[in-house]
Amino acid sequence: MFFGGFSGATAFYPSRIANGSFVPRTVLTDFRLSGNRVPIGGKSPLKQSISYTDTITLTHQQNIFSIEFSALSYFNAETNRYRYRLDGLDNSWHEVGSDQRTANYTTLPARTYIFEVQSATSRGKWSEPGTRLRIEILPAWYQTFWFRCACAVVLLVLLWWIYQRRLKQLERQFNMQLEARVGERTRIARELHDTLLQSFHGLLFRFQAARNMLPGRPEESSQALDGAISRAEEAIAEGRNAIQDLRPEPTAQTDLAQLLASTGKELEGAQYSNQEENRDSAIFRVTVEGERQALSPILQDEVYRIAREVLRNTFQHACAREIEAEIRYDYGQLRVRIRDDGRGIDPRVLQEGNRAGHWGLPGIRERAKQIGARLDFWSEAGAGTEVQLTVPGSVAYAKSRDAGGLRLFSKKTGTHAR
């Protein structure tokens, strides 16, 4: 192309145009934290001007920053081009014009980054490798390796502790099973005492009475033998129940007072037959105080068994003239008291606990403990014995007294049963 002018002619060959070979140097011109200028020196992360800084270390709270850069090319500076990236965050370059010479970063996670920026003239090459700034963002204390290690150790210790606890729990369960087995054996021994042994004692009384009557009163003797035979049948049934542990609440249907009255009658009869020579048998009575409450069946059975053993002891050992069983239904407790005016229990026997061949007292103590009841003895030589069983109402009574307020006004009743 040729152009003519006053000063001469101009020739222009487009094919001979060459790209500019000038590659400008890029410098960092500003560094800001959360939009604020950063002073140099002191506690500031900048120890010298950002233009001369290769590495900068920031805390985890200083992770919002911006970097400004510029190309050292003053020939038509508006047409200069820039590209930057943050190695560790960006995968590609961000290309911008000269009006956007700032790179902004917010809430970067703690780690080390490399900021790279390159510049070029409008048609020139990129200033490779460009300018680089190493930026290290320190982790918070809870993000540190040591803290994580400590957490892992604590977790392991916790798991170990849980494992040990579980082991101990299993051990305890195993021990409890063992104890339960031993307890079961004791219970069976007690059951045998309270059923078979006691029944055979009763039978012995009856047989002895029948034998005493045999020479003079054969009729009464055979009646006594018939009674003993039917009692033996009952004893077998009772023993079978105890051994098989299949007693489906045998005493539940009957009132406790009635049970004690018939037991007393039975013992009284046996005693009467044995002592026919002096005819000095004990007078037995049952009294009930307070409004009768339905007892929980299992508990009634346990209370009955305790009272029965106490009565049996009284008839067997006390040589008493009067024996009284008192059942008292109080608001918060059930109280069964059995007293006699006999010879009293030897204090050594009461203190001794277990005595070979005498399992009645240890047995009733165990029973009372099992049902959460209290068993008290008062005894004096020649003045008689009083045994009191106190069972908390929450354990004794089948239903809680929800109409308690009204029952405060209920009358106390006294009844006698013989």
Measured on CA atoms in the order 403, 404, 410, 412, is the torsion positive or negative?
A: positive
- Kindly compute the dihedral angle of the four CA atoms of residues 294, 296, 298, 299, in this order, to the nearest 10 degrees: -80
Is 267 a binding residue for ligand ATP by CB under 6 A? The answer is no
Residues 285-324 that bind ligand ATP (CB under 6 A): 313-314, 317-318
Is 345 a binding residue for ligand ATP by CB under 6 A? The answer is yes
Q: How far is the CB of 304 from ligand ATP (least distance, A)?
A: 16
| CB-closest chain residue to ligand ATP | 360
Q: Is 117 exposed, middle or buried (0-12, 13-18, 19+ CB in 10 A)?
A: buried
Q: How far apart are CA 352 and CA 377, in angstroms?
A: 14
Q: How far apart are CA 418 and CA 414, in angstroms?
A: 13
Site string for ligand ATP, 195-214 (x = CB under 6 A): --x-----------------
385 with 342: CB under 8 angstroms? yes
Which of 273, 313, 314, 379 forms a contact with Mg ion (CB under 5 A)?
A: 313
Q: How far is the CB of 220 from ligand ATP (least distance, A)?
A: 27
Is 56 a binding residue for ligand ATP by CB under 6 A? The answer is no
Contacts of 37 (CB under 8 A, 6+ apart): 30
Phi, psi (rounded to 5 degrees) for 105: -135, 140
Identify which of 338, 336, 297, 302 has the alpha carbon closest to the alpha carbon of residue 187: 302
Q: What is the DSSP string of 264-283?
A: HHHHHHHHHHHTTTT--PPE
Part of the chain binding ligand ATP (CB under 6 A), chosen from 61-69, 175-183, 209-217, 356-364? 356-364
Residue 317, contacted partner among ligand ATP, Mg ion, none, CB below 5-8 A by kind: ligand ATP
- Which of residues 295 and 325 has its CB atom nearest to ligand ATP in the complex? 325
Is 264 a binding residue for Mg ion by CB under 5 A? The answer is no
- Which of residues 105 and 207 has its CB atom nearest to ligand ATP in the complex? 207
How many residues touch ligand ATP under the rule CB under 6 A: the total is 17
Residue 252, contacted partner among ligand ATP, Mg ion, none, CB below 5-8 A by kind: none
Which of 360, 367, 373, 391 forms a contact with Mg ion (CB under 5 A)?
A: 360
- Which of residues 271 and 313 has its CB atom nearest to Mg ion in the complex? 313
Q: What is the DSSP string of 344-379?
A: ---HHHHHH--BTTB-HHHHHHHHHHHTT-EEEEEE
Which of 81, 134, 292, 343 forms a contact with ligand ATP (CB under 6 A)?
A: 343
How many residues touch Mg ion under the rule CB under 5 A: the total is 2
Residues 357-386 that bind ligand ATP (CB under 6 A): 358-361, 385
333 with 390: CB under 8 angstroms? yes
Residue 349, contacted partner among Mg ion, ligand ATP, none, CB below 5-8 A by kind: ligand ATP
Q: How far is the CB of 194 from ligand ATP (least distance, A)?
A: 9
Which of 116, 238, 268, 340 forms a contact with ligand ATP (CB under 6 A)?
A: 340
Q: How far is the CB of 314 from Mg ion (least distance, A)?
A: 9
Using CA atoms, how far residue 258 sits from 286, 415, 418, in Å, is: 9, 12, 9
227 with 213: CB under 8 angstroms? no
Residue 340, contacted partner among Mg ion, ligand ATP, none, CB below 5-8 A by kind: ligand ATP
Q: How far apart are CA 66 and CA 64, in angstroms?
A: 7
342 with 319: CB under 8 angstroms? yes
- Residues engaged in binding Mg ion (CB under 5 A): 313, 360
- Residues engaged in binding ligand ATP (CB under 6 A): 193, 197, 313-314, 317-318, 340, 342-345, 349, 358-361, 385
